[in-house]
Amino acid sequence: MGNGDFVYPSSSDRQCATHRVAIPPPQPFFMSFKNTLKETFFPDDPLRQFKNKTPSRRFILGLQYFLPILEWAPRYSFQFLKSDLVAGITIASLAIPQGISYAKLANVPPILGLYSSFIPPLVYAMMGSSRDLAVGTVAVASLLTASMLGQEVNAAQNPTLFLHLAFTATFFAGILQASLGLLRLGFIVDFLSHATIVGFMAGAATVVILQQLKGILGLDHFTHSTDIISVFRSVFSQIHQWRWESGVLGVGFLFFLLVTRYFSKRRPKFFWISAMAPLTSVILGSLLVYLTHAEKHGVQVIGNLKKGLNPLSFGDLVFTKPYITTCLKTGIITGIIALAEGIAVGRSFAMFKHYHIDGNKEMVAIGTMNIVGSCFSCYLTTGPFSRSAINFNAGCKTAMSNVIMAIAVMLTLLFLTPLFYYTPIVVLSAIIISAMLGLIDYEAAIHLWNVDKFDFLVCIGAYIGVVFASVEVGLVIAVAISVVRLLLFVARPRTSVLGNLPDSTIYRNVEQYPNANHVHGVLILEIDAPIYFANSSYLRERISRWIDEEEDKLKATGKTSLQYVILDMTAVGNIDTSGISMLEELKKTTERRELKLVLANPGAEVMKKLNKSKFLENIGQEWIYLTVGEAVEACNYKLHTCKPEESQPWNNV
């Protein structure tokens, strides 16, 4: 029905039909502050499970909270063991070659890749809440460790000091990760948006692939920079030193790895083929070098790997100047990246199996395993996607698969390390390239372009920054663009004009619903965000512009002049003193223009502050309504019964 068809009820009828907007009862400051802290740091209410429990039961629940293994171990069955045994052995076959490869990428001795696949998984199995996360070293963190510490110490010239700095950076990363979990600050990681991670991971994967040209081409000297220009300059300035034997071997094994991965994707039941391919490549490559003596013809090999379990390294941590600053910076950046990857991977697989993981508990678990690992000759570890995907597909049931993987690695450290002497470095490069190609998610980038161009800009900004500058610069660019977008959402909230949907009392955005009717003499504006100091000036100017545009439109058509401005405040969850000052100024502005300001559906927090600031007395509660429909009905009623500037008592509206 059109607006001219409204039937205006009598005062007594309207008194019964209209509900007054309530002011919430006052709440003590301490209680309000307590509730705010609870919603900020304890949205999951972790203490709920302790309510109405005996002290002994609370003690047991507390132990289970920090050591989830105490919860699932008593229910562990032989069927679970069979599944976890298969999964653990499968991921161990991937963890051993990947660990050695990523250690080379981090410029630390290859044996550290095996050390880091032994102690940290055992710690995580006790403290982690994910059943599917497979713990180990990751390429991006390895690259970051090499590039950031390499700015301070040359790994080739001073390998011992570089190694000690890597342990120290891992220690700081663990302290940061555990602290974020204990202090319930996990929301900080959420500033790394999905678009940021997609672009950053793709850029880091590209950089890692380019770095492997050293191994594929058999080069002895290579740039320490990670940007694409420096890498290509280093590669093409040494054309005369390229070794075709190494290149042929690398391309051949890379082709083998890609074919097996493609086959496993097409036939998920044969996931183990892709999982076993890296270890198979290492065995075949080592046999080929051993039988042909290829190490004497330009094919570089790993050489001796020290037998035995992890030696203690707590005494090797460096807390002195000038190195502590570099270690701290490296630990913070690598720690946050590793944390974001580990939690994202854990949540993804938890969603598939319909169970919940606690992000803060995961932070504590990942941080603790890195703290412990740094004291046992390990560098940074987390839950890589490739290894966790194999664990998931292998049918793991609990975190026991990590324990079985660690036992397999332990046996390798004790008895099998001499067998890796002839492992060609070019095979390790092929393994890294194969793994990194899976991190370049071009489909996700296309999806971002189709859905949200700004998110695509964040993604591309991260990618370009990583590839053309450095990993750190790319991360800073991506986070900066994300923060700018967040600030734009806050500082420039959307406002829209509402109209009446035909044959209803519903009011919606006229751009979304072109058939919505404008209400004669009334401008209805919707504010889509809280009103704070950052956006109050913008909202005042934007609302004034809406009024100007509406008056110009009415003058051009010769229709009824504008009489009322209704602000729909349904989406305004909060308001500060700057926002209240903006409303006061807006009220004065509308009065000077002989218009009346009306508010519709302000929320509890808004009403509380408007009441305390005396704004309700200023505007008059007769100009505040529960719904837009009631506000429009009242304005139409007043237009037909009295002058707009005359105020009516609330009960007579």
Rounded to the nearest 10 degrees, what angle do helices 425-437 and 139-150 cross at?
120
Average pLDDT, the chain: 87
604, 24 contact by CB (below 8 A): yes
Residues 199 and 270 in one domain: yes
Query: Which of 65-74, 423-432, 478-487 is predicted least confidently?
Result: 478-487
Which of the 8 DSSP states describes residue 424?
B
Looking at the domain assignment, is residue 653 inside a domain? no
- Reply yes or no on whether the pLDDT at 358 is more than 70: yes
Name the band, by pLDDT with cuts 50, 70 and 90, for residue 558: confident
Question: How confident is the model over 259-292, as pLDDT tens digits?
Answer: 998 998 888 888 888 888 999 999 999 999 999 8
Looking at the domain assignment, is residue 33 inside a domain? no
Residues 150 and 233 in one domain: yes
The last residue of one of the domains, among 459, 484, 509, is 484
Residues 509 and 471 in one domain: no
Residues 445 and 497 in one domain: no
From 197, 208, 226, 142, select the one nearest 461 (Cα to Cα).
197
Question: How confident is the model over 34-67, as pLDDT tens digits?
Answer: 777 777 677 667 777 778 788 888 888 888 888 8
Residues 526 and 437 in one domain: no
Looking at the domain assignment, is residue 51 inside a domain? no
Largest CA distance in the chain: 103
**pLDDT at position 16, please?**
40
Q: How far apart are CA 620 and CA 646, in angstroms?
A: 12
Looking at the domain assignment, is residue 166 inside a domain? yes
Residues 288 and 389 in one domain: yes
- Reply yes or no on whether the pLDDT at 71 is more than 70: yes
**Encoded tokens for 53:** 């429990």
Looking at the domain assignment, is residue 460 inside a domain? yes
The last residue of one of the domains, among 484, 509, 534, is 484
Residues 453 and 509 in one domain: no
C-alpha distances (whole Å) from 441 to each of 132, 206, 227, 347, 459 are: 22, 11, 20, 19, 11
- What CATH number corresponds to the domain at position 633? 3.30.750.24
Looking at the domain assignment, is residue 456 inside a domain? yes
Question: How confident is the model over 572-602, as pLDDT tens digits?
Answer: 999 999 999 999 999 999 999 999 999 999 9
Q: How far apart are CA 382 and CA 350, in angstroms?
A: 16
Looking at the domain assignment, is residue 524 inside a domain? yes
Residues 276 and 238 in one domain: yes
- Reply yes or no on whether the pLDDT at 545 is more than 70: yes
Residues 498 and 474 in one domain: no
Looking at the domain assignment, is residue 27 inside a domain? no
From 385, 428, 405, 413, select the one nearest 92 (Cα to Cα).
405
Question: How confident is the model over 91-144, as pLDDT tens digits?
Answer: 998 889 989 999 988 999 999 999 999 999 999 999 998 999 999 999 888 988
Residues 146 and 97 in one domain: yes
User: CA 40 from chain center: how many Å?
Assistant: 17
Query: What domain count does the chain have?
Result: 2
From 356, 348, 270, 266, select the one nearest 90 (Cα to Cα).
270
Residues 551 and 476 in one domain: no
161, 153 contact by CB (below 8 A): yes
Q: How far apart are CA 564 and CA 585, in angstroms?
A: 16
**pLDDT at position 570, please?**
93
Residue with tokens 């050390």: 115
Residues 507 and 412 in one domain: no
The last residue of one of the domains, among 418, 453, 484, is 484
Q: For residue 361, what are the domain limits?
A: 74-484
